[in-house]
Amino acid sequence: MSNQSPQVGRGPASAVASPETGAPAPRSGGQLLVDALKVHGVDLAFGVPGESYLEVLDALYDSEIKFVTCRQEGGASYMAEAYGKLTGRPGICFVTRGPGATNGAIGVHVAYQDSTPMILFVGQVGNDFVEREAFQEIDYRRMYGPMAKWVAQIDRADRVPEYVNRAFHTAVSGRPGPVVLALPEDMLTDTASVADTGRYKRVAAHPGDRDMRRLRELLTQAKRPFVILGGGDWNAAACEDIRAFAEANALPVGTAFRRADLYDNRLPSYAGDVGIGINPALAARIKSSDLLIAIGPRLDEMTTGGYTLIDVPRPKQKLVHVHPGAEELGRVYEADLPVNSGMPEFAAMARGIKPVDAAAWTEWTKAARADYEKWLVPERGPGALDLGQVMEFLRKRLPPGAIVTNGAGNFAGWVHRYYPYTGFRTELAPIAGSMGYGVPAGIAAGLVHPDRPVVAFAGDGDFLMTGQELATAAQFGAKVMFVVVNNGMYGTIRMHQEREHPGRVSGTELKNPDFAALARAYGLHGEIVEKTADFAAAFERAWEAKTSSLLELRVDAEAITTRTTLSAIRAAALKKKG
Ligand SMILES: Cc1ncc(C[n+]2csc(CCOP(=O)(O)OP(=O)(O)O)c2C)c(N)n1
Ligand SMILES: [Mg+2]
């Protein structure tokens, strides 16, 4: 073996240090890896097994780490991403080479776009076969290069602690994100006498005093300031600090696309969700603001209405842009005050600023709230089952700690508009707009927080992308209420189709199974709901169920968004075409 050093050889793994030399006892690469995970505080890992990493599975056998065996790597990587979002610690996912790596890519993509710490471990062919296109061989550095913060292959067992340590540091530091580590099979069986590292420490930039003085100065000059919260790198304490900062300065606060849980939506300073299907009054308010304080968001396409809400590259307003990654500042927007800082670090300093006289904008802030409250009142939609009414019921019925997840599709528009998230990590939703996210994210939430109610929303298209993970929920006892919004189509795409090619329905219709029966086949409680009036009772039965549950809501295909119908979109498009 070309990769052997004097400390590396083959032999049985042992955890006992040599009494004579005090040198670390030889351990296999697989054992070293699992020991490193323990050092870094891992309690849960998600994955689908493969013969490429048997040594790791074997080391897990004796460990305290719970390995959640999933039914498809897409589900596993989504769960690991959701774990990362929920805890701020890297979510761990194990997949086998080639097919496992390709299936698992979706969670890595989401972790990248959503700035979530995550580590994907991928099996790899042994170094003795590498570069021959051996069975299921892929060069992961090239495959995952643009999708991850760092991709590497651990070729030597004695360097496992070093690589894993770096992976944890990289995943959580600066702008958080995913790391991919490939594990050649022979490395996992090789042994090495090497010590573990210490636990990783997150590294973050801090704002300078000058930054904070300038922020205060900009505030004193403002008449219509507006705060947008977003991005990764938050924790509950940072959210509290930002709340104190906003309240002390009577600032209106909006949240970037699918980051609504960074601020308790019930607070009088909350002004709404700056994302897809934005409240037109909120969009107008942001356009007419004179100072935007963007704390954490990238100011991405979805948060800026396709870069129309805020002018590129020079916004009309004064812009304060705070981001944990230096590379994001000045990437799209020219800020008056760019601040490179971790979120907790910035939030603590912001809380410490001497409050300014907010008299100039107290009415502006109240008006922003009034716009939001008006927006919260459901518009009556077509059909016997009205999602707006369902959301209103859930708003009153779910306790504040409930976690609400969703995947991608127009159904999520009702959740985002009508469900007020109650604070940090009550929302798990893919900023990357990736279908199939809500189900596994809900399961991860159920496993991480068994004490908190979890409701996972999915569209009929969305659900079947990862619906097989109901088996994982059943196997590991995660309690989740799955709500499948069934409109018999890939509705979002149909909406675009009616706009661009009215009346020409192509590739968007779905013939669905009986979702409730499917749930029962997995051992869950399952019911179909067809009328608004029946929802409350069905909800209560699902709530009382010992197992996870699934409510299939049969909705009218006409109800395409909270504001309009399919026919109206089609009619408008036909009129436009003349
Ligand atoms: C993995 C993935 N594939 C495809 C898409 C494109 N896409 C976005 S929404 C959508 C349809 C969603 O359908 P459904 O879940 O039934 O929700 P609906 O829009 O009908 O409410 C599709 C295909 C995507 N975002 N993610
Ligand atoms: Mg649908």
The whole-angstrom separation of Cα 253 and Cα 244 is 12
Give 309-344 pLDDT, tens digit per residue: 999 999 999 999 999 999 999 999 999 999 999 999
Task: Give the three-state DSSP class for 266.
Answer: coil
Give the ligand 1 atom nearest the CA of 492: 19
Which residue lies with its CA nearest to atom 23 of ligand 1?
Answer: 490
Residue 218 confidence class, pLDDT cut points 50, 70, 90: very high
Buried-state track 455-489, b at ≥16 Cβ within 10 A, e below 16: bbbbbbbbbbbbbbbbbbbbeeebbbbbbbbbbbb
Q: For residue 314, give every residue at least 6 positions away whose Cβ sits within 8 Å of its Cβ, in sequence order, or none.
A: 333, 334
- What is the DSSP track for 200-214? ---------HHHHHH
pLDDT-derived band of residue 22, with 50, 70 and 90 as boundaries? confident
- pLDDT by residue (tens digit) across 47-86? 999 999 999 999 999 999 999 999 999 999 999 999 999 9
- Which of 385, 492, 508, 553 for a ligand 1 pocket mutation test, highest count of atoms within 8 Å of Cβ? 492
**509 CA from centroid of ligand 1 (Å):** 12
Task: Please give the distance, rounded to the nearest whole angstrom, from the Cα atom of residue 489 to the centre of ligand 2.
Answer: 4
pLDDT of residue 20: 76
pLDDT in tens, 423-448: 999 999 999 999 999 999 999 999 99
Distance of CA 354 to the CA centre of its chain: 34
Say if CB 553 and CB 532 are below 8 A apart. no
Q: State the alpha helices, DSSP H only, in 190-272.
A: 209-221, 236-248
Using the 8-state DSSP alphabet, how is residue 489 labeled? B
How far the first Cα of the chain sits from its last, in Å, is 73
| d(CA 560, ligand 2 centre) in Å | 9
> What pLDDT is attached to residue 472?
98
The predicted model scores a pTM of 0.96
CA 240-373-319 angle, 5° bins: 55
Which residues have C-beta under 5 Å from ligand 2, the single-atom ion? 459-461, 487, 491
If we measure between CA atoms, which residue out of 70, 71, 74 comes closest to residue 108? 74
- Average pLDDT score over the chain: 96
- What tokens were used for 336? 């008056």
Ligand nearest to C-alpha 463: 1
Find tokens 């969305």 and name the residue: 462
- Lookup: tokens for 16: 């006992």
The three-state secondary structure class of 484 is: strand
Residues 347, 105: Cα–Cα separation, whole Å: 33
Distance in angstroms (rounded) separating the CA atoms of residues 188 and 344: 38
Q: Please check the confidence at residue 4 and state whether its pLDDT lies above 50.
A: no
Ligand 1 center to 460 CA (angstroms): 9
Mean pLDDT of 76-99: 98
Distance 97 CA to ligand 1 centre (A): 28
Instruction: Point out the ligand 1 atom lying closest to the alpha carbon of residue 459.
Output: 15
**Residues within a 6 A CB radius of ligand 1:** 408-411, 433-436, 459-462, 485, 487, 489-493
Ligand 2 centroid distance, CA of 492 (Å) = 7
